[in-house]
Amino acid sequence: MRPVSCLVLLAWAGAPALGVVVAAQENGTAAAADVRVLQVRDGIYMVAGAGGNVTVQVGGDGILLVDTGRAAMGDQVLAAIRTISNAPIRQIVLTHDHPDSAGGVATLRTAGDAVLGGNFGGRAGAAILAHENAWLRMSAGGLPPAALPTDTYHVRRHDFSFNGEPVEILHQPRAHTDGDSMVLFRRSDVISTGDIFSTTRYPVIDVASGGSINGVIDALNRLLEITIPRTLQEDGTLVIPGDGRLCDEGDVNWYRYMVTVIRDRVQDMATRGMTLEQVKAARPTLEYDGRYGSETGPWTTEMFIEAVYRGVSAPQSR
């Protein structure tokens, strides 16, 4: 078993030295999904169980978050953060606009306190950063002002320093959406990927929001360019996926391989004139379905195959 996987399994089992569990309370009883905290590196933590993984960076400047989880889990995420530190939440970076990652913005922003200059003397809540494409969809969705990003970026790479660490925000166009961001903590050698990468499901491709299978593969290739293993593809750069367990480069490489194989199979079938229903019947994902597939829920195997088919069938899709 891989060293990183052992760490995660022990933490998920509740080993007190590695992680803590904050139970979501409903009518006085624990909810089905617990929010769990895992220390990734010194000053970097992963909060899981909130709909999507939340990354927490802690230091002298305060707290920086990557994503917030679902709206209904906002209080539990905040409680989990407070088991790590009581420092003010200064900055939140959103990897995309979907509610499993951005739903808790209002709760966590209100609990935060941005550093403001000039003559401003009050509290404005935490600053929220997202790619402008994500902001455009969120602002058009009828969300209250407290749930919207306060800042945007539009370039391929945006950077700043927080807690003495260089932080790089890397835009990934037409991947899961057209507004995806990955967040690299350069000194800590930790990357938060958002829904570009997952250990529990096939890539979610939001075609209506500019997502595409080839863009997902491009993003996974870029992720592999900036991950560095310690030895034999193990350990080294640690990767916090949109959901699922903590990973390293070997895990990303396997996922990229799986996604590419499926893309190539569907592309070959489409080139030979097979219809979408014929492609689904051929089951191009068969040997991977046990690990990543689903027949129910918000993202099924059939939905993934359809998104891939539409992507490879579109003109100039690569």
- In DSSP terms, which residues pair with 44 in a beta bridge? 41, 57
Closest CA to 177 of 144, 149, 203, 143: 203
In this structure, is residue 67 part of a structural domain?
yes
Question: Tokens 């992963």 map to which residue?
Answer: 46
Q: Give me the tens of pLDDT residue by residue for the chain, a chain 318 residues long.
A: 344 343 443 343 333 334 576 654 443 333 445 899 999 999 999 999 999 999 999 999 999 999 999 999 999 999 999 999 999 999 999 999 999 999 999 999 988 888 665 444 455 799 999 999 999 999 998 888 889 999 999 999 999 999 999 999 999 999 999 999 999 999 999 999 999 999 999 999 999 999 999 999 999 999 999 999 998 878 999 999 999 999 999 999 999 999 999 999 999 999 999 999 999 999 999 999 999 999 999 999 999 999 999 999 987 544
Residue 318 lies in a domain: no
Residue 192 domain-assigned (yes or no):
yes
pLDDT at 19: 58
CA angle 230, 220, 40 (to 5 degrees): 45
What are the DSSP calls for 76-105, one per residue?
HHHHHHHHH--S-EEEEE-S-S-HHHHTTH
77 within domain boundaries: yes
Strand partners, 29: 26
What's the pLDDT at 9? Answer: 35
Asked if residue 168 is part of any domain, the answer here is yes
* Whether 228 contacts 189, CB under 8 Å: yes
Q: Is residue 265 part of a domain?
A: no
270 in any annotated domain: no
List the CATH number of the domain containing 226: 3.60.15.10
Whole-angstrom Cα distance, residue 156 to residue 171? 5
CB contact set of 245 (below 8 Å; sequence gap of 6+): 5, 8, 12, 199
Structural domains of the chain, count: 1
Residue type, 69: G
* Pairing mode of beta strands 89-93, 157-162: unpaired
Q: Report yes or no on whether pTM surpasses 0.75.
A: yes
CB 170 within 8 A of CB 197: no
**29 lies in which domain range?**
3-257
What distance in Å separates the CA atoms of residue 285 and residue 94, rounded to the nearest whole number?
Answer: 30
225's CB contacts (< 8 A; 6+ apart) are none
Asked if the structure places residue 301 within a domain, the reply is: no
